[in-house]
Amino acid sequence: MKAYLIEEYGALSGVRAAEIPDPEPGADDVLVRIHAASVNPLDLRIRDGDFKRILPYRLPLVLGNDLAGVVVRVGPAVTRFSVGDEVYARPRKDRIGTFAELIAVHQDDLAPKPAALSMAEAASLPLVALTSWQALVDRAQVRPGQKVLVHAGAGGVGTIALQLARHLGAQVATTASAADADLVGKLGADVVVDYRTQDFAEVLEGYDVVLDSLGGETLEKSLRVLRPGGKAISIAGPPDAAFARELGAPVVLRQAMNALSFRTRRSAKRQGVAYSFLFMKARGDQLREITRLVDAGEIRPVVDRVFPFDRTREAMEYAEKGRAKAGKVVIAMV
């Protein structure tokens, strides 16, 4: 099969097309012919080696973290899927590789594709929708009437998190450009802060939850807009010891991650709020919940542009340089 892979960590020039053997599904695996995949910042960070100490992938490595496609074969222990089913997924972290024609995915990571969506639309959802769900539902346990700030509301995670927060009954604020104000408003934002002309930390206060996808100074300021007891959940900030424990990392690595997040955790503690780092997990059961919300009209994907498979490198470059106006960049194999 054809796939896009890296043979060493580094720049975009290291991503190349290659012919590799078809994957062989295990007993609990579903072999999926991929119709579409999407580009995520995670793909770019893996390509650059940002996670090589945390996620020790064996090179060469096929990139890609979410997909939509059709089941072409099932393992003998598979009970939930049959040949011909339309599915979508974010494969678990040690089995990525959706920039390819085929992939073997554990049945626990798969879910039926939303009937209302095309393959390209469905492929844009798994990673960002699961991130939003695990931040707002699992970790923050957002309740009706709470105040939630979602940074970068026009981004991949932001466009879905806004809709999910609205569905959960929250009062929602976001940061976005003036050009995206109408879009994020339609997606669920009650308050839109123009990050180019306003400082959100001077405009917002008393928030229960902040979902941060930017890190750095934005994360530090986010701690100040929370009420006492509020929660800052970051997918871009420094990893913490809890994340290291989830990975089963050795003690030395846990200590290193604890040191990386020490300043942020100390600042949060001084302000009476909580900080945690989120690295989303593959969860087919949660994707099924998201499928129901999509088919009920509660969540809709936002796709900026679709590239053909033979222009995968161009799609990655387009995403990396921030050319997308809103939502996700998708790669279509079919």
Non-local CB neighbours of 231 within 8 Å, separated by 6+ positions: 139, 140, 208, 209, 210, 273, 274, 275, 276
**What integer pLDDT is reported at residue 325 of this predicted model?**
86
Q: Are 3 and 97 in contact (CB under 8 A)?
A: yes
HEC letters along 2-15: EEEEECCCCCHHHE
Cα–Cα dist 25/252, whole Å:
35
Q: Which fold has domain 127-277?
A: Rossmann fold (3.40.50)
Quick: pLDDT tens for 220-260.
999 999 999 999 999 999 988 788 777 777 777 778 877 88
Question: Which stretches of the chain score pLDDT less than 50?
Answer: none
DSSP string, 157-185: HHHHHHHHHHHTT-EEEEEE-GGGHHHHH
Domain limits of the chain? 2-125+301-332, 127-277
Q: What is the pLDDT of residue 148?
A: 98
Domain 2-125+301-332 sits in CATH 3.90.180.10? yes
Per-residue model confidence (pLDDT) at position 12: 73
| Cα of 130 vs its chain's centroid, Å | 7
User: CA-based Rg of the chain, rounded to a whole angstrom?
Assistant: 19
Residue 123 has a pLDDT of 98
